[in-house]
A and B are shown apart, each in its own frame.
Chain A
Amino acid sequence: MDYLFGPENYRWLLDVSNLRFLIQGFGINVATAAMAAVLSLILALPLALLRLQRNRVVARIAGTWIDVWRNLPTALVVLYVALATPSAVQEAVEQYAPGWFPEPMRSSGVIVGVVGLTLYYSALIAEVYRAGINAVPVGQVQAATALGLPRRDALRFVIVPQGVRAMTPALISQVISLVKNTTLISIIAVPEALRHAQILANSNFFSTGPQVPLLHVFVLTGLLFIALNIVLSRVSRSFETHSHVRSRSMSFA
């Protein structure tokens, strides 16, 4: 009990460089989440449209792809991509990362993590898009046809925008899940928040400055994530219109 609440275990908080180090690690998570989110949101749309194709073969293939990735654990996908990417590819990535990328993000671990997360979340988000597109009132589709719009334009200008807009809370819920799953890249030795927390705890060795207890720094890291995700869900809530029950944001993980 002493360990949990004793004041000497909280003194490390007063040192701004400790906090800065933690937040820099957290920044990697945020950056990874941002990259993976943008890629997933973009790539999921063609995937969803493929699923909705009239051509049954194409729709089946897309459907199977989505169902497989959706049902696999995120940890499995991310870890597999990280371990299976040949080191030659990883080095090439590190060499050719654009110069304006900040230093910690040029590590192959981040890129590989983004790839893994994108593979997973593009499938999940494709399903969200599909639900949204299917939920667009039939009247809209009929009106579009009545106006003489070819199916492609009907999709592009009428159906998809409405469908996606309606699903914004669900999309943000997926982004929140993505943010949480960026912690998985700590397993592939990317210097993100959890790793930085462990490093801070390991720095006790040199005993310069107050002790940093592992549990406390982990809890603080958790609070950082909670804060970010709460902000995201507030944003999401502001997109909800009254006709949408909160159960929309019930997509899991």
Chain B
Amino acid sequence: MNLPEFWSILTDDGDALLRGLQWTLALVVAAFALAMVIGAVICVLRCHARPGVRAIGTGYVEVFRNVPLLVLIFAIYLGLRHSGLAIGSFAAAVASLGMYSGAYIAEALRSGVIAVGAAQFEAADALGLSRSMVWAEVVLPQAARLVIAPLGNLLIGMIKNSAIVGTSILAVPDLMNQARQLQSQTFLTTETFLWAAIGYLLLTAVATSGANWLSRRFALVR
């Protein structure tokens, strides 16, 4: 590990790494938003009265929790493009990461929903709220507040998984991708990867403190 070269990376290629960090941030934010939506939908499906609907939800979770992300990226990017949808690299990355994490978020929300309990459902029903309002206005918000800590963990997991996108065929210039390119040009393996590591640790630290703050502010404890 060469200290002067370590610092020189900052001056020579700092902007490339910074751009990578920005791309990673964009990817994670977009994918997290998508994943929350998917997670909520699948969670509702999983708790439906009809067993057929429940099976769809369970099927989604089983597939997307057990498939490796690299394979999923390939399948989604090429599969969608072959069926005519001209999805771009970034969109495919967001879709893959979002669908993948959505399965985990669905499970987290589901445990929150279980903790919210049937009483809330019945009370909302008794008040005459429609099914969708029961879910959207009463149950899911409480469930989400119950599971802020696990959701925070999932966000950190997403930050880590976003690095896999940088190693796939998708042309997304995220932090991992930039680090690899830099390494193949300069051969300063330890130095470049150390910077990438710092970047990711920064992101996870921000995510952790964000989750902690949210937890203190909004979390319900039952």
Tell me, yes or no, whether A and B come into direct contact in the complex with CB atoms closer than 8 A: yes
* A4 and B196 in contact, given A75-B164, A218-B71, A250-B150 (Cβ under 8 angstroms): no
Query: Is residue B8 contacting chain A, with contact meaning CB distance below 8 A?
Result: no
Chain B residues near A181 (CB-CB < 8 A): 68
Chain B residues near A187 (CB-CB < 8 A): 167
A76:B196 contact, CB within 8 angstroms:
yes
Interface with A: B11-19, B47-55, B78-86, B124-132, which one?
A: B78-86
Please report the C-alpha to C-alpha distance between residue A250 and residue B105 in the assembled complex, in whole angstroms: 9
| Tally of chain A residues near chain B (CB < 8 A) | 41
B197:A72 contact, CB within 8 angstroms:
yes
Nearest CB in chain A to that of B208: its residue: A71
For A202-225 the 0/1 string (1 means CB < 8 A from B) is 000000000000110011011001
Q: Quick one: which of A47-95 are within 8 Å of B by CB?
A: 68, 71-76, 79-80, 83-84
B193:A180 contact, CB within 8 angstroms:
no
Q: Quick one: which of A24-52 are within 8 Å of B by CB?
A: none
Please report the C-alpha to C-alpha distance between residue A245 and residue B104 in the assembled complex, in whole angstroms: 15
Query: Is residue A160 contacting chain B, with contact meaning CB distance below 8 A?
Result: no
Q: Which of A73, A83, A229 contacts B163 (CB under 8 A)?
A: A73
Query: Is residue A243 contacting chain B, with contact meaning CB distance below 8 A?
Result: no
Query: Is residue B201 contacting chain A, with contact meaning CB distance below 8 A?
Result: yes
Tell me what chain A mostly uses at the interface: helix, strand, loop, or mixed.
helix
Nearest CB in chain A to that of B78: its residue: A215
Please report the C-alpha to C-alpha distance between residue A219 and residue B78 in the assembled complex, in whole angstroms: 11
Please report the C-alpha to C-alpha distance between residue A76 and residue B166 in the assembled complex, in whole angstroms: 10
A214:B176 contact, CB within 8 angstroms:
no
Query: Is residue B111 contacting chain A, with contact meaning CB distance below 8 A?
Result: yes
Chain B residues near A221 (CB-CB < 8 A): 71
Chain A residues near B68 (CB-CB < 8 A): 179-181, 183, 222, 225
Chain B residues near A226 (CB-CB < 8 A): 62-63, 66-67
For B126-148 the 0/1 string (1 means CB < 8 A from A) is 00000000000000000000010
Chain A residues near B79 (CB-CB < 8 A): 4, 215, 219
Query: Is residue A246 contacting chain B, with contact meaning CB distance below 8 A?
Result: yes
Rounded to whole Å, the gap between the CB of B188 and the closest CB of chain A is: 10
Rounded to whole Å, the gap between the CB of B191 and the closest CB of chain A is: 10
Please report the C-alpha to C-alpha distance between residue A42 and residue B69 in the assembled complex, in whole angstroms: 27
B104:A250 contact, CB within 8 angstroms:
yes
Query: Is residue A247 contacting chain B, with contact meaning CB distance below 8 A?
Result: yes
Interface with A: B87-95, B151-159, B213-221, which one?
A: B151-159
Query: Is residue A252 contacting chain B, with contact meaning CB distance below 8 A?
Result: yes
Rounded to whole Å, the gap between the CB of B86 and the closest CB of chain A is: 14
Query: Is residue B74 contacting chain A, with contact meaning CB distance below 8 A?
Result: yes
Chain A residues near B159 (CB-CB < 8 A): 73
Closest 9 CB pairs of A and B: A252-B157, A73-B163, A229-B66, A247-B111, A222-B71, A180-B68, A75-B163, A73-B160, A71-B204
Which residues of A are in contact with B by a Cβ distance under 8 Å?
1, 3-4, 68, 71-76, 79-80, 83-84, 176, 179-181, 183-184, 186-187, 194, 214-215, 218-219, 221-222, 225-226, 229-230, 233, 245-247, 250-253
Enumerate 7 A-B pairs (CB-CB under 8 Å) in ascending A order.
A4-B79, A72-B160, A73-B164, A79-B193, A84-B193, A246-B111, A252-B156
